[in-house]
Amino acid sequence: MMTTAVRFQAEPMECDTDEEMSVEEEEALKKYQSRTGRGRKSVAGERYNPEEDDDDEPIKVVPKTDDQRARLQVASKKVMLLNRLDEDQLTNVLDAMEERQVTADEVVIKQGDDGDNFYVIDSGNFDIYIDSDNGPQKVGSYDGSGFFGELALMYNMPRAATIKSSADGILWSLDRKTFRQIIIKANANKRKQFEEFLKGLAVLENIEDHERSKIADVIESKKFQSGDIIIRQGDVIDSASFVYFLMNGTCSISVNVNGTDKVVKEIAAGACFGEVALIKKEPRNATVTASSNVVAGVLDVNAFERLLGPCKNIMARNIDKYAEELAQLSVEDKE
């Protein structure tokens, strides 16, 4: 099911289908912040620092049936914050999560309250409200999947919105302490690694540090084995499409000419690929295959549109380069 959600945080962090706030939503949020004395800049300044609170107490374990664990594993795969965990960390998080049954019209989170839990949706629909002069204003919803509640835990601030169930459903909750012990620490380490990597990319050399930080917040890493096809020529661009930043390994780029696949070039760590089709909104014009084991940073099409605007002119130059390479390949084929 489609999720239309607004995440009130200093940097967008979307793994499901978060969108930019509308003017009305932004104004409503500003009114709330003016009453609480908290604005977006102050939120960013209060980011929880895991290095200052290294709590090594044992992680709690909540017993689960086989069915519960299976459902939790399915739900967790859709959560970006959990995708950055290694196997042991994810196991500890899943062990600590508790099932919560909710009924229609139940308030799960109330705007202004202290943050106590992070929630992952197993089933059910949940609406997002923020206070306005005319009463609570609905600004988004989660339909059947998604996560919420991380903002207050990450930035040490009161709940920025009210989350209310519109139907019976099931949530998985993770307490504040475990969230900080594992998730924030793991994501902070990954974020730092991504920022260092992004600093070395020529295609991003003209963006500001804060823009690079936003990209580091939402970029994910994907692994491919030698021989895996990462992009296939002719694939159409949709919401599941990515732009790729090659972090480790090598790839070959090939095009099909008169029924024969021919390699155009080999690329190595630091290369960006897949951006041409996203810029032109046309099918993929080449096939990219892993020549070795590969690790690539990926941004989905929505994050690409939202965060890489300052880089599009530089990326667009590759369109002309690819066109020249394809033209040369065509000439060589005729010869």
Q: pLDDT tens digits, the chain, 335 residues: what are they?
A: 444 444 443 333 333 333 344 454 455 444 444 433 333 333 333 455 555 555 566 788 999 999 999 999 999 988 877 877 888 889 999 999 999 999 999 999 999 999 999 999 999 999 999 998 888 999 888 988 889 998 888 878 899 899 999 999 999 999 999 998 888 888 788 888 899 998 888 778 777 888 888 888 778 888 899 999 999 999 998 877 889 999 999 999 999 888 888 898 899 999 989 888 888 888 998 999 999 999 999 988 777 777 776 666 666 665 656 556 555 655 455 55
Rounded-to-integer distance, Cα 335 and Cα 332, Å: 5
Amino acid at 118: F
pLDDT of residue 225: 95
pLDDT of residue 42: 33
Total Cβ atoms within 10 A of residue 266: 11
pLDDT of residue 12: 31
B/e letters for 152-184, b = 16+ CB within 10 Å, e = fewer, are bbbbebbbbbbbbbbeebbbbbbbebbbbbbbb
Rounded-to-integer distance, Cα 264 and Cα 61, Å: 53
Sign of torsion, CA 33 34 38 41? positive
Rounded-to-integer distance, Cα 146 and Cα 121, Å: 6
Q: Do 155 and 16 touch, CB atoms closer than 8 A?
A: no
Rounded-to-integer distance, Cα 109 and Cα 171, Å: 12
State the DSSP H helix or E strand holding residue 27, giving kind and residue range, or none if neither.
Answer: helix 23-36
pLDDT of residue 11: 33
Closest of 178, 170, 154 to residue 45, by C-alpha: 154
Rounded-to-integer distance, Cα 283 and Cα 272, Å: 17
Half-sphere exposure of 32 (CA within 13 A, CB side): 24
pLDDT of residue 8: 42
Angle, vertex CA 239, rays to CA 282 and CA 260, nearest 5:
40
Q: How many residues does the chain have?
A: 335
Half-sphere exposure of 270 (CA within 13 A, CB side): 6
Q: Tell me the domains of the chain and their CATH numbers.
A: 23-183 (2.60.120.10), 200-334 (2.60.120.10)
pLDDT of residue 171: 97
Q: Do 299 and 12 touch, CB atoms closer than 8 A?
A: no
Q: Do 141 and 5 touch, CB atoms closer than 8 A?
A: yes
For residue 277, the Cα-to-chain-centroid distance in whole angstroms is: 20
Question: At a CB cut-off of 8 Å and minimum separation 6, what does 58 contact?
Answer: none
The residues pairing with 18 across neighbouring beta strands, listed in sequence order, are 5
Token digits for 47? Answer: 């980011």
Closest of 231, 317, 236, 299 to residue 267, by C-alpha: 231
Amino acid at 55: D
Three-state DSSP at 259 gives: coil
